[in-house]
Amino acid sequence: MAADCDIAVVGGGILGLATARELLDRRPDATVVVLEREHAVAQHQTGHNSGVVHAGIYYAPGSLKARLCVEGARDLYEYCEEHGIPFERRGKLIVARDDGELGRLDELERRGRENRVPGLRRLDAHGLREIEPHARGVAALHSPETGVVDFAEIARSLAREFEAAGGRVEAGCEVTGIAPRNRRVGLVHARGETRAHFAIFCAGLWADPLAVRAGADPDPRIVPFRGAYLRLRPERADLVRGLIYPVPDPRLPFLGVHLSRHIDGHVSLGPSALLAPTRIAHSLAWPGTWRMARRWWRTGMRELRHAANTRSFAREAADYVPELEAGDFSRWYSGTRAQAVARDGALVDDFVLSETERALHVRNAPSPAATSSLALARLIADRAEQGLD
Ligand SMILES: Cc1cc2nc3c(=O)[nH]c(=O)nc-3n(C[C@H](O)[C@H](O)[C@H](O)COP(=O)(O)OP(=O)(O)OC[C@H]3O[C@@H](n4cnc5c(N)ncnc54)[C@H](O)[C@@H]3O)c2cc1C
């Protein structure tokens, strides 16, 4: 492989690939290379998630998440249509189980309207059953534009397009060192060294060690959270038509355990949210992890119960669809979220980018970053172009 290039992107998930494609589209004569540690693209978060194209309801108005999710969902549907990638606008219900959840549902509705989420409607107990006949609750928000897709398939399509335009994806190429090299940035990896005019790090779970190696502040640190899913028996899958979500705890960046009918027709329940064993020593060495644990220990205990006992996890589903029983579910896949945690223990809510010399780092890109990927890639490319010029 060539030792020099104009732009190197570290990470072959949906974000790295969307960014590489965007930059090559803007600069067709540039040499752009993606360095990916695994044997193929989309092996981490991009290939192990809920597969939901979010519509932009939850996010604080004015935040990057709010803007880029609404924009990104529109672009993603267009991209799928153009490239023949299957998707379905299945529609989502966010269900309030009792009057105690109505205040939080009101706030979600306010955010959704301010974020200009298309087609958002408020439903009463009767109205929600017209959308999901087996669901129960006192009220709901319905988002008809929320959909499902396979994000890994989109990532593979982005990689193919990028390579057809002259870009290179180098798999099995873990970057282990970063050093300045005579007006370039040197990336030391499994197959030698690549020197780039500019480097962009979209490394998910490994974002912070790479950023720190390039000279960035260690705050925030990525703390991996494992999200496990259960699968509903196919004979019972008719009980769920689309996506049924709880009213989430507004203090947490997670949307809560939900029922989703995937693009392949299977119905999942999940994800859980438990501190992941991946790089656990790194997580425990961060003061923010302990501060977070002190604040959220009750939630952590519930998650531990779910991890140990499928039946207790499955019972969450009956809160929304009473006909569902614990025996209807079996263990399925899991994914690990790259969630940034600040030194003070706060879970960082918005997307975060930061810069070092000749490099840009994506420091926090949790959900809905897959939905937002094409819009987020434009923002990253704008920032990278400033650095390049
Ligand atoms: C359980 C779960 C459910 C989710 N649900 C949704 C959802 O429904 N909708 C949604 O929009 N988002 C969802 N997300 C979030 C979404 O999956 C991520 O935000 C998105 O995939 C981030 O993409 P990425 O490219 O940044 O990360 P990743 O896909 O994690 O890619 C990072 C890549 O960097 C590579 N890498 C790391 N270090 C190095 C190195 N040193 N050298 C070379 N390569 C390296 C990794 O191998 C990896 O391929 C979910 C995430 C999880 C885990």
Q: Is 148 in the pocket of ligand 1 (CB under 6 A)?
A: no
- Say how far apart CA 212 and CA 219 lie, in whole Å: 9
Query: How is the beta sheet containing 147-149 ordered, strand by strand?
Result: 52-53, 147-149, 87-88
- Band of the pLDDT at 221, cuts 50, 70, 90? very high
How far is the centre of ligand 1, averaged over its atoms, from the C-alpha of 26 (Å)? 24
pLDDT in tens, 79-98: 999 999 999 999 999 999 99
What's the DSSP call for residue 228? E
pLDDT for res 296 = 85
Q: Is 175 in the pocket of ligand 1 (CB under 6 A)?
A: yes
- Band of the pLDDT at 303, cuts 50, 70, 90? confident
- Say how far apart CA 192 and CA 174 lie, in whole Å: 10
pLDDT for res 180 = 87
Closest CA to 261 of 234, 227, 286: 234
Per-residue pLDDT at 279 exceeds 90 = no
Closest CA to 68 of 337, 361, 363, 373: 373
Q: Who has greater pLDDT, 308 or 109?
A: 109
Per-residue pLDDT at 274 exceeds 90 = no
With a pLDDT cut of 90, the percent of the chain lying above it is: 85
pLDDT in tens, 185-210: 999 998 999 999 999 999 999 999 99
pLDDT in tens, 250-260: 888 788 899 99
If you average pLDDT over residues 153-174, what whole number do you get?
98
**Angle, CA of 79, 5 and 157, to the nearest 5°:** 20
pLDDT for res 309 = 80
Tell me if 272 sits within 8 A of 313, measured CB to CB. yes
What's the DSSP call for residue 169? E
Q: Which of 339, 367, 380 to mutate to test the pocket of ligand 1 (most atoms within 8 A of CB)?
A: 367
Q: What's the mean pLDDT when you consider all of the chain?
A: 95
If you average pLDDT over residues 156-165, what whole number do you get?
98
Per-residue pLDDT at 146 exceeds 90 = yes
> 162's torsion region: left (phi>0), alpha (psi -120 to 50) or beta?
alpha
- Fill in the amino acid letter for 234: P
How far is the centre of ligand 1, averaged over its atoms, from the C-alpha of 223 (Å)? 13
Per-residue pLDDT at 382 exceeds 90 = yes
Q: How much is the pTM? A: 0.96
pLDDT for res 278 = 79
Q: Is 15 in the pocket of ligand 1 (CB under 6 A)?
A: yes
CB neighbours of residue 70 within 10 Å: 24
pLDDT in tens, 312-368: 888 889 999 999 999 999 999 999 999 999 999 999 999 999 999 999 999 999 999
**Angle, CA of 346, 349 and 353, to the nearest 5°:** 105
